[in-house]
Amino acid sequence: MRGGGSGEIDYRLARHSLISEFRKGRIARHEVCDAHPELVRAARELGDETSIPCPVCEQGNVVLVTYVFGPRLPAFGRCITTRKELLAIARRPGEFTAYVVEVCPHCSWNHLARTFLLTPARGSATTRSAR
């Protein structure tokens, strides 16, 4: 889910660099298309579709998957499926961090798009702006 403002870290520069190295042949496809099967499943079943083409296979668009980590959540985080769910977690006491990962369900490309601290104001935002 989309963050904004302070506390957000955007990984576009790292993404651009990685894709550039891949396209120059310095990184093999299997090194960038290495998403865990559970992440690919989450992308297929729960992810937020985008209009961003996969930078590796170009067979489809990437999907955004959001995980939240914090107190009283599983050690592997919680996959967020709706804005309502994100807002509910944001209202809980404690500090929560959201990680938005872009995933290609076709080739298993994945890259951390951004992280942000979860606050009630951010719970109502969407994931549509991964660029």
Do you know the residue count of the chain? 131
pLDDT tier, 119 (very low <50, low <70, confident <90, very high otherwise): confident
Q: Tell me what the mean pLDDT of segment 37-66 comes to.
A: 96
DSSP state of 94: S
The dihedral of CA 78, 82, 88, 91: what is its sign?
positive
Residue 123 pLDDT more than 60? no
pLDDT tier, 50 (very low <50, low <70, confident <90, very high otherwise): very high
55 burial level (CB within 10 Å; 0-12, 13-18, 19+):
buried
The rounded mean pLDDT for the chain is 88
Residue 4 pLDDT more than 60? no
The predicted structure's pLDDT at residue 7: 79
The predicted structure's pLDDT at residue 124: 46
Percent over 90 (pLDDT), the chain: 74
Question: CB neighbours of 3 closer than 8 A, spacing ≥ 6?
Answer: 98, 100, 114, 115, 116, 117, 122, 125
More confident: 119 or 31:
31
pLDDT tier, 118 (very low <50, low <70, confident <90, very high otherwise): confident
Instruction: Collapse the DSSP code of 90 into the 3-class scheme (helix H, G, I; strand E, B; otherwise coil) and give the result.
Output: helix
Domain boundaries, given as residue ranges, for the chain: 8-124
Residue 128 pLDDT more than 60? no
Nearest-Å Rg of the Cα atoms of the chain is 15
